[in-house]
Chain A
């Protein structure tokens, strides 16, 4: 009701569709500008795996690498179950 009154008097409410559009646009542009295609993410995953495998044995089947979109930022989140550490040859 208050929202309706505010709209009648031309006041913007925080839920005005413009603000929703603004926020959605911000997120979609942030995502687009990262320019991370599924192929690129797959390449990153393979490269990461190869590096990690030099140090530890991991469970490749249940690992998960993805970009996590928070309201404010984007994070690269990797969840990689470690089976055991590799015994590195001691110098």
Chain B
């Protein structure tokens, strides 16, 4: 029986979909069977981030309404065995499915895999309720900005009022240089306000943009710092004890040159 996670944030644009794609891919790299569910009905984009957009035949609403079987709608990733996507419907809206249907669907998916991740839409309306319905755990994504932390706080309140206990925090897009200059909230500032367990910290990384352009999650790129951070997070999700990434002692001059030349760094 698989574990169900909802990846949520309240605010849009903080990296929910990127986080879902990367944690899922990294877990599949570790050998787990993972299903990623795009719960953002009407605005699907997890398929694009994963590079699977051309292979969609059926979607989540088709399964919920019985037009196809779950197996037919799941898209298997060609790069990694054990990674599947259940895409959202693009032409419907959030009311096309109810939280109860979602719960039922997730229960069916969990029978087939080790982890299910629901990529939640922004907001706190029905899309959020649908995405959380099938999950028993939650990953809250935020960035070190006032608006994002505020929305994360609201989401944590809503999660705790539902059946989901002890949500986990991912702080995304940290810029170590700005933190050092006193121009960005640091990890401790954010944790102090939100008071939930930290699952991981992810540095801001241009390779996230290039990997999204290509439809290849950054965890597949050994040069990506964000990819490394997400691989660490995946191992923590799998129960390993992995130390947090040291963002302060970023790469030195030599490492930077090596990376520019495309050489792998330690």
Which B residues are CB-close (under 8 A) to A16? 181-183
Q: Is A26 an interface residue (CB 8 A)?
A: yes
Contact of A17 with B182 in the complex, beta carbons under 8 Å: yes
Contact of A18 with B150 in the complex, beta carbons under 8 Å: no
Which B residues are CB-close (under 8 A) to A33? 153, 157
Contact of B193 with A18 in the complex, beta carbons under 8 Å: no
Contact of A25 with B182 in the complex, beta carbons under 8 Å: no
Contact of B149 with A25 in the complex, beta carbons under 8 Å: yes
Categorize the interface residue count of chain A. Answer: 10 to 19
Which B residues are CB-close (under 8 A) to A19? 182
Using A13-B182, A32-B153 as known contacts, say yes or no to A18 and B189 having CB atoms under 8 A apart: yes
Per-position 1/0 for B142-154, Cβ under 8 A of A:
0001100110011
Contact of B189 with A29 in the complex, beta carbons under 8 Å: no
Q: Is B180 an interface residue (CB 8 A)?
A: yes
Q: Is B184 an interface residue (CB 8 A)?
A: yes
Which A residues are CB-close (under 8 A) to B182? 7, 11-13, 16-19
Q: How far is the CA of A82 from the CA of B247 in the complex (A)?
A: 61
Q: How far is the CA of A18 from the CA of B157 in the complex (A)?
A: 25
Q: Is the interface of B mostly helix, strand, loop or mixed?
A: helix
Which B residues are CB-close (under 8 A) to A28? 146, 150
Which B residues are CB-close (under 8 A) to A24? 146
Q: How far is the CA of A32 from the CA of B10 in the complex (A)?
A: 14
Q: Which of B149, B150, B183 contacts A17 (CB 8 A)?
A: B183
Using A7-B181, A28-B146 as known contacts, say yes or no to A22 and B153 having CB atoms under 8 A apart: no
CB distance from B146 to the nearest CB of A (A): 5
Q: Is A21 an interface residue (CB 8 A)?
A: yes
Contact of B153 with A29 in the complex, beta carbons under 8 Å: yes
CB distance from B179 to the nearest CB of A (A): 8
Contact of A26 with B193 in the complex, beta carbons under 8 Å: yes
Categorize the interface residue count of chain B. Answer: 10 to 19
Which B residues are CB-close (under 8 A) to A12? 181-182
Q: Is A61 an interface residue (CB 8 A)?
A: no
Per-position 1/0 for B173-216, Cβ under 8 A of A:
00000011111111001000100000000000000000000000
CB distance from B196 to the nearest CB of A (A): 13
Residue of B nearest to A17 (CB): B183
Most-contacted residue by chain A among B179, B182, B184 (CB, 10 A) = B182
Q: Is A89 an interface residue (CB 8 A)?
A: no
Which B residues are CB-close (under 8 A) to A21? 145-146, 184-185
Using A25-B193, A26-B193, A29-B193 as known contacts, say yes or no to A18 and B149 having CB atoms under 8 A apart: no
Which A residues are CB-close (under 8 A) to B146? 21, 24-25, 28
Q: How far is the CA of A89 from the CA of B36 in the complex (A)?
A: 72
Given known contacts A7-B182, A18-B182, A25-B189, what 11 new A-B pairs fall within 8 Å (CB)? A11-B182, A13-B182, A16-B182, A17-B184, A18-B183, A21-B145, A24-B146, A29-B150, A32-B150, A33-B153, A33-B157
